[in-house]
Chain A
């Protein structure tokens, strides 16, 4: 047949139909592609783009530098240093035969590492070793273990270690402040971590960065009011006193009464924020700010203020303390010996219970309470230190006779060492109370103070405090060579189960120096000194003396004019 002989002579239309059909299919696909990718319409395109990004684009955090903390002279106290945290993708690392080698480099136990990898086997991220020095981390990364990567982070170092431990506090492993200044000024120091986007490959490794989404903003530096030299000297003397007295705990705080700046604050037991493995949060407490005690006889100074304000007494008025004891309600209060008829000034100088009781009964407890309140007891000092306690003033509906009197010598209320320092700073500052601060102040732009007592009263009280450290006073050991200083001791029975303990004391001293230009106020608290030297005059006053000597030296206070003749004479006219 003709047809059978010419098989190629199929009808042309069939060929054309097949071609058109194929072309239509191709055009549909291309059209769909163009529709999805180019004409940008509908949800399909969005969906595809999202899915693509999900598989390739990642966002990473750009770590930021936490602000430096400096002392008032610019010496760094807390520094963030770049470190590298090594991490692994367990899915890629767990079956590697190089595990023992990796474990050895990281000083880990190989079996423990294997167990940990198996435990996180279905995850894609696991820390191997956090916060390694960059040099060490580079060495490990260079060995190119499968799935092992480094992540940049910052670690906080405290060059002064335990000397500034409790004041600065510390940050947690993720660089957030969790105690002390680090916590109080977290927002200022922290900064804003940036964000960047990058494209990753199949193994999750960054191929290239696309761009920065959020600009990183580093934390800001913070200048504290502390003076590291002074802080160190105070710390050293406090530790020495702790050793000498065998006390359980102690605090010292020095403030500048003119500006309200806290110059130094130290505590025992010590706390070193650099060794995280041995962290003991009990000793991380800044006791000078957070622990309130009954202030005892140190409050007698404020009772004196109330007495002088009442105008019933001036400092030379005579008070009869015969026969050296006085009955109040059911209790009898004693002086160590009968002082007889003595002046108001001598009452404070000798810390006479009978004399103070008579003053308190004459002026009344409301007047004393009012003075305590005006001197800032029962109120926080304004430093904003985390965990700072405000202490307590008694708030009673009914006052018994004995309560009215014990208030005058510092029982029945509580105060922190920093509060005591602030109260005495009012006296040093001519009767003006200033808010305290841990930040360096501009001397020309100080926050306004509040006048709480007359300047005359403040000056009279300073005269009396001068005599407390003079011959015959209770705090001769507080004296500082070359300067006149004033202060008041306190010895308080500790409260235990069932009331006051007979054999456990808190020794206190609060002092002001130099009296020629009263400026530096230091409060010392020694908790449970052992042995015979448990009193404020024997346990705390010598510490005050040694610390204040350093304070005056470091702050360049000029030795007093009255001593200068003697100085010139003894130096034999030298030079």
Chain B
């Protein structure tokens, strides 16, 4: 009616459009959260499996490299022994 003041119809229309946009945004972000959370869960599962593998390998390394095993192989299979001191020579720095 007067200059400067938009008609109530226009305001209502704009607000209506804004409402729809924000509603769509809510839908989109909800979907985003769900798919991200699904990804997070998948990654957590993967982490769990990797950790499982890692600790298994860690334990395996340490079983193979256990001092008593090294000791046994060195003395039994390879006939090694600590050198007698008379065979040792100290190289001073």
The answer to whether A211 has its CB under 8 Å from any CB of chain B is: yes
B 32-65 binary contact with A (CB < 8 Å = 1; else 0):
0000010001000000110110011011001100
Most buried by A among B51, B56, B59, B85: B85
Q: Which of A157, A232, A568 contacts B59 (CB 8 A)?
A: A157
A232 and B51 form a contact (CB under 8 A):
no
The answer to whether A342 has its CB under 8 Å from any CB of chain B is: no
In whole Å, how far is B66's beta carbon from the nearest beta carbon of chain A? 7
With both beta carbons as reference points, the residue of chain B lying nearest to A211 in the complex is identified as: B37
Contacts of A80 in B (CB 8 A): 55
Q: Which residues of A157-195 have CB atoms within 8 Å of chain B's CB atoms?
A: 157, 159-160, 163
A159 to B67, CA, bound (A): 11
Given contacts A159-B63, A159-B66, A559-B90, contact A567 B85 (CB under 8 A): yes
A164 to B93, CA, bound (A): 36
B52 and A81 form a contact (CB under 8 A):
yes
In whole Å, how far is B90's beta carbon from the nearest beta carbon of chain A? 5
With both beta carbons as reference points, the residue of chain B lying nearest to A569 in the complex is identified as: B86
Q: Which residues of B70-93 have CB atoms within 8 Å of chain A's CB atoms?
A: 71, 82, 85-90, 92
A481 to B90, CA, bound (A): 14
The answer to whether A100 has its CB under 8 Å from any CB of chain B is: no
A571 to B59, CA, bound (A): 42
17 other A-B residue contacts (CB within 8 Å) besides A481-B85, A559-B90: A76-B58, A79-B58, A79-B59, A81-B56, A159-B59, A209-B41, A482-B85, A482-B88, A553-B82, A558-B90, A559-B85, A564-B90, A564-B92, A567-B89, A570-B86, A571-B86, A575-B89
A209 to B44, CA, bound (A): 13
A18 to B51, CA, bound (A): 70
Given contacts A81-B56, A82-B55, A228-B67, contact A571 B87 (CB under 8 A): yes
Contacts of A559 in B (CB 8 A): 85, 88, 90
With both beta carbons as reference points, the residue of chain A lying nearest to B44 in the complex is identified as: A62
- Which 5 residue pairs are nearest across A and B when measured between Cβ atoms? A232-B67, A159-B62, A81-B55, A82-B52, A570-B86
Number of A residues contacting the other chain (C-beta, 8 Å)?
32
Pairs A–B under 8 Å by Cβ, sample size 5:
A79-B59, A82-B52, A159-B59, A160-B66, A571-B87
Given contacts A65-B51, A160-B66, A211-B37, contact A567 B56 (CB under 8 A): no
The answer to whether A134 has its CB under 8 Å from any CB of chain B is: yes
With both beta carbons as reference points, the residue of chain A lying nearest to B82 in the complex is identified as: A553
Q: Which residues of A235-269 have CB atoms within 8 Å of chain B's CB atoms?
A: 236
The answer to whether A130 has its CB under 8 Å from any CB of chain B is: no
The answer to whether A217 has its CB under 8 Å from any CB of chain B is: no
In whole Å, how far is B73's beta carbon from the nearest beta carbon of chain A? 14
Q: Which of B51, B68, B89 contacts A574 (CB 8 A)?
A: B89
Given contacts A134-B52, A228-B67, A236-B68, contact A81 B89 (CB under 8 A): no
A82 and B48 form a contact (CB under 8 A):
yes
Q: Which residues of A25-67 have CB atoms within 8 Å of chain B's CB atoms?
A: 65
In whole Å, how far is A377's beta carbon from the nearest beta carbon of chain B? 33
Given contacts A209-B37, A209-B41, A211-B37, contact A81 B59 (CB under 8 A): yes
- Contact count A vs B, C-beta below 8 Å: 65
A228 to B67, CA, bound (A): 8
A567 and B51 form a contact (CB under 8 A):
no
In whole Å, how far is A569's beta carbon from the nearest beta carbon of chain B? 10
A79 and B55 form a contact (CB under 8 A):
yes
In whole Å, how far is B72's beta carbon from the nearest beta carbon of chain A? 11
A75 and B86 form a contact (CB under 8 A):
no
Contacts of B48 in A (CB 8 A): 82, 152
The answer to whether A233 has its CB under 8 Å from any CB of chain B is: yes
With both beta carbons as reference points, the residue of chain A lying nearest to B34 in the complex is identified as: A208
A373 to B44, CA, bound (A): 56
A567 and B67 form a contact (CB under 8 A):
no
A330 to B86, CA, bound (A): 54
Given contacts A157-B59, A233-B67, A236-B68, contact A568 B89 (CB under 8 A): yes
With both beta carbons as reference points, the residue of chain A lying nearest to B48 in the complex is identified as: A82
A305 to B38, CA, bound (A): 72
A80 to B51, CA, bound (A): 10
A481 to B58, CA, bound (A): 37
Q: Which residues of A60-88 have CB atoms within 8 Å of chain B's CB atoms?
A: 65, 75-76, 79-82
A80 to B88, CA, bound (A): 43
Contacts of A79 in B (CB 8 A): 55, 58-59
A157 to B56, CA, bound (A): 10
A 217-236 binary contact with B (CB < 8 Å = 1; else 0):
00000000000110011001
A65 to B56, CA, bound (A): 14
